[in-house]
Amino acid sequence: MDTSNAPTAPEALISQFQVTKLLRQDQAGRRISLLGTINNEQGILTAERTALPTESLDTIQAFHAAISRVKNLGDNDIYRWYLASSNNTNNNGPNSNGNDLKLNLIWPCTTSHIKKYSSQQLRMVTETPAIYKTHIHPYMRAKREEGRLNWVFNILEGRTEQEDVILRDEGGPNGAQDAFLMLPDLNWDRETMGSLHLLALVQRRDIWSLRDLRKAHVPWLKYLRERVLDGTVGMYPGVERDMLKLYVHYQPTYYHFHVHVVNVMLEAGTTQATGKAFGLENLISQLEGLAGDESASLADVDLTYFLGEASELWTDIFEPLKQGKEPGQ
């Protein structure tokens, strides 16, 4: 895609966004994901507040037209996030400046983004070690080679979002091998402690997902856990260690190992549900209990999780397997 024209101010992109379709409404009606275009290129705009209108396309477009006081919080690659006002005179938003919306914009977006943000039937699948080795790991490699991790590497290598990094740990006993950094998740408004959501991105690039974790990694994972908890408590007064939940997604949105850090009071939506979120402490215990030497790995166990029917993992791998067919044929 050609996006080489003169750069547009981040705030201006919101008013240029042309709404074409509602992709999904979730979080008990507080969040909607909209498909639209900017300069004829597709994008996804996610808006969140206490209640959002979805009765018709006209009401959705009216809601979008009323967005004002857009404040850019940051941007990285195709991802941008904002605070804004819905022009609601009865503004009961959590922010003292009157901004009652947290906006996320993905632009330009891909077909995969549209599938991810669209409402769809979920399916529970069991991924055996054989399925992982034969089908899932090659899929992961292909996605990594598509350049989808550029935004992660931009952060880790100090090119973007450095003002948002709240902790940069240079590593423990193994030095750079243990290093990681923490920053706010793009879905957090950065003010409401009850919905605190941080990400810990590891510097090492040999661990794509929890499948790559081995028994030998237990000391590193325990170090990571302690440093993440200490760093979060040190950064946010009033937050205590037992008020935090640490988990890893499988399947993750991107294949670079990262840990989610959330307030235990945060509404446990789909992203924290069984079949999606795997507690870090439980992963450590599972690794410690694996039979065998230090090379024993989570690649050698069955994992059960859910997928959307629009996911390539379902359409290209698990649905054919369910039908008794070989994926790719």
Report helix, strand or coil for 220. Answer: helix
Report helix, strand or coil for 258. Answer: strand
Strands, E assignment, 136-214: 167-169, 180-184, 197-202
Q: Which pair of tokens denotes residue 6?
A: 């003169």
Phi-psi region of 118 (alpha: psi -120 to 50; beta: other; left: phi over 0): beta
Q: Residues near 102 by Cβ (< 8 Å), separated by ≥ 6?
A: 47, 48, 49, 81, 82, 83, 187, 188, 189
Q: Partners of 68 in the beta sheet? A: 85
Give yes or no: 258 in active site.
yes
Q: Which residue has the tokens 């991924």?
A: 127
Phi-psi region of 130 (alpha: psi -120 to 50; beta: other; left: phi over 0): alpha
* Burial annotation 275-297 (CB, 10 A radius, 16+ → b, else e): bbbbebeebbebbeebeeeeebb
Q: Residues near 89 by Cβ (< 8 Å), separated by ≥ 6?
A: none
Report d(CA 266, CA 264) in Å as an integer: 5
Confirm if 13 and 105 have CB atoms less than 8 A apart: yes
Report d(CA 84, CA 55) in Å as an integer: 22
The residues annotated as belonging to the active site are 258
